[in-house]
């Protein structure tokens, strides 16, 4: 139970709720930074624990059970946080809905199938789906960092001054243009990756459903 791969999985499982807790104990953008660093470090353990388990021949049933649970917990909680801070923005809400629905649906299938759930083994495409999800979430956490840095640096400036600096008509001594550019890049890249993840999520979910059909016919 206490092999290094399993310990890394425990850490990732514990880190999942802490991503949300960061926003209760820190003000933004410090909460965004804390959540971003915690999420990235936890996501990296997802690749390390699997690699070490195979290399050291320490694969276990406990690790096989907890690993996908930790992944799903990280993604679901992080998406809830990001969706909450972005309100009802359809560019985030729709792909997040597809992702959350698929995770619940596939988990329900596995629970129902019981001993035959081995037919729903994780595919290579599903692993890519998880990777894209985690990268998209990390990038979207970066949006909050740039957004709040922009707000802090422009504090006390009127709208006309801010627009003048962003348009390049006035000097930019505090680096507003750089923060605004960072915010735009992370937003569009994060949204694009989230939609790609949603498409992969739907495809893999449909694949698992087709594989389970022979066991659902009666």
Beta carbons within 10 angstroms of residue 155's beta carbon: 7
What is the rounded distance in angstroms from the CA atom of residue 148 to the CA atom of residue 138?
A: 16
Secondary-structure breakdown of the chain: helix, strand, coil percentages, each rounded to the nearest 5: 85, 0, 15
Task: Give the mean pLDDT of the chain.
Answer: 84
Structure confidence by residue, pLDDT tens digits, 50-83: 777 777 777 777 767 788 888 888 899 999 999 8
Quote the percentage of the chain above a pLDDT of 90.
22
- Closest listed residue to residue 134, CA positions, set 209, 61, 201, 64: 201
Mean pLDDT of 15-25: 87
Question: Could you say which DSSP state residue 121 is in?
Answer: P
Question: Phi then psi for 95, rounded to 5 degrees?
Answer: -65, -35
4-215 maps to CATH 1.10.1060 = no
Residue scoring higher pLDDT (114 or 69): 69
- DSSP string computed for 152-173: HHTTT--HHHHHHHHTTSS--T
């Amino acid at each position: 139970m206490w092999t290094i791969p399993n310990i890394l999985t425990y850490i990732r499982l514990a880190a999942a709720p802490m991503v949300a807790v960061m926003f209760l104990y820190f003000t933004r953008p410090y909460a965004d930074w804390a959540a971003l660093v915690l999420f990235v470090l936890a996501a990296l353990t997802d690749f390390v624990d699997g690699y070490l388990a195979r290399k050291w021949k320490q694969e276990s049933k406990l690790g096989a059970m907890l690993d996908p649970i930790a992944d799903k917990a990280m993604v679901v909680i992080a998406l809830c946080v990001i969706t909450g801070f972005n309100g009802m923005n359809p560019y985030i809400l729709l792909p997040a809905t597809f992702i959350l629905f698929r995770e619940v649906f596939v988990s329900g299938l596995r629970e129902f199938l019981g001993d035959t759930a081995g037919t729903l083994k994780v595919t290579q495409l599903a692993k890519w789906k998880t990777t894209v999800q985690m990268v998209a979430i990390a990038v979207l956490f970066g949006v909050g960092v740039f957004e709040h840095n922009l707000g802090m640096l422009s504090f006390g400036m009127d709208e006309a001054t801010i627009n003048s600096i962003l348009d390049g008509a006035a000097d930019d001594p505090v680096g507003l243009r750089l923060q605004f550019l960072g915010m735009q890049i992370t937003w569009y890249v994060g949204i694009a990756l989230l939609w790609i993840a949603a498409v992969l999520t739907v495809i893999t979910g449909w694949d698992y459903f087709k594989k389970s059909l022979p066991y659902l016919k009666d």
